[in-house]
Chain A
Amino acid sequence: MSPWWLAVILLGLAGLSLLAWSVRALDAPGAITAFLLGLVVALVADLKWLILMTMFTVVSVAATRLGMARKAAKRAAESRGGERGVRNVVANGLAAALAAGAVLFLEPEAAALAFATAVAATTADTLASEVGALAPRARLIVPPFTRVPPGQNGGISWLGQAAALAGAVGIAAAAAPLLGLAWGLVWIPAIAGFAGCQLDSVLGATLERDPLYDRPLTKEDVNFLASAIPAFIVLAIAQIAG
């Protein structure tokens, strides 16, 4: 890699991390973690892959801050005013970083599909949560499908689902020019990413710990699994199919 191109990557990542910290999107350890994860992706894969990941970050920050006052009134707001830390950064970025690392060992197109799936899943899940929290009503995704307050673990709404689908499709469409994916394959990360969002809701309704239920998984565990599982499935199928 050209040292000048490395300088572009380092300047860009430093700027993004500092920007995220200064607008309270990330705390200091979270910003440093995001810098390091982004550096791994840019070095093992390509700067364009990092740009796709950055799109998730921008969408996530904007969605978190959308209607904060209304969400706070509904007690559905992200804790700490939407500021995220190391655990959240790792939960949302690790699956994508691992998929980027797969490009060193596996078919590049398979790794690109898995990476796009991971980013689409985290984007869809974030939009479902943050936009869905503004919905007037929600229902549990699992039986008995009872009405629940918007923002409760495992709750889904039409508004949240529409935002999730839009997010997954948007990331998948951006992945075509950025990752060099054929347009005929864009449906894979779009569908798998949206499915990952549904998996997050199912895990949230059944296995995620909350004030009412002492369950085995934390919110960060659920976030990671919801992006890692569909990404891994896509990677395995794409690698086998060649």
Chain B
Amino acid sequence: MRNRTKKLGASGPSSGVDMEVRNLPLFVASLLLLTAATSLAAVLIHDGEVGTDEAKLGYADEGDSVKVKGTLTPFEAATGSSWGDVLAMLHHTTYRLMLPDLDAEVLVTGLVEGLDAESVIVEGAIVYNGPHPSDVAAHLLVLDANTVTSPFFDW
């Protein structure tokens, strides 16, 4: 095997960091593997496949910042006095966010129009976490969105 000896550090060989590469192609391969891992991790985090907060929605407090991934569907503003407090929190455009495995309805407000049926990653603050105005047995969360991004891939 060929050995390449490379010394690092500015103070001369006696006090520098000595590094000897045992096998240059495998050294390069190791760097490529690390690059692949880092790149894949970055894409997974961007696309909301990891690092999102669905698990903590059930016990999040109003004011908590969360990041969730789901599919947006249209929300028709409900009528009735029981909706008064919640409607006051909603901006002009509000969607229902479909989240698997969550036993609650999630509304996302403050987004732009035209995002129906889009898979998105939303970051924002919980502004309501309490009983559903139309069904006291159900639960409602309202998320005031700060940012919304689309995933690179359909995982």
Q: Which residues of A contact B (CB under 8 A)?
A: 2, 4-5, 7-9, 11-12, 14-16, 18-19, 21-24, 47, 62, 65-70, 81, 134
Chain A: which residue is nearest B27 at the CB level? A22
Task: Out of B13, B20, B30, B41, name the residue touching A8 (CB < 8 Å).
Answer: B41
Once A and B bind, how many residue pairs between them come within 8 Å at the CB atom?
82
Interface string of B28-64 (1 = CB under 8 A from A): 0111111011101100100001100000000000000
Flag if B41 contacts A15 (CB, 8 Å): no
Task: Out of A15, A18, A67, name the residue touching B15 (CB < 8 Å).
Answer: A67
Chain A: which residue is nearest B9 at the CB level? A66
Report the minimum CB–CB distance from B64 to chain A (whole Å): 15
Report the minimum CB–CB distance from B37 to chain A (whole Å): 4
Report the minimum CB–CB distance from A67 to chain B (whole Å): 5
Report the minimum CB–CB distance from A214 to chain B (whole Å): 33
Given contacts A8-B37, A8-B41, A70-B14, contact A18 B29 (CB under 8 A): yes
Count of chain B residues with a beta carbon within 8 Å of a chain A beta carbon: 28
Flag if A2 contacts B33 (CB, 8 Å): no
- 17 A-B residue pairings within 8 Å (CB atoms): A2-B49, A4-B40, A4-B155, A5-B50, A8-B40, A11-B33, A11-B36, A12-B34, A12-B38, A12-B41, A18-B27, A19-B31, A24-B21, A67-B15, A67-B16, A69-B13, A81-B20
- Contacts A12-B41, A65-B18, A69-B18 known; 13 new A-B pairs at CB < 8 A: A5-B41, A5-B50, A8-B37, A11-B33, A11-B37, A12-B37, A15-B32, A18-B26, A22-B30, A23-B21, A24-B21, A24-B22, A70-B14
Given contacts A2-B50, A12-B37, contact A68 B26 (CB under 8 A): no
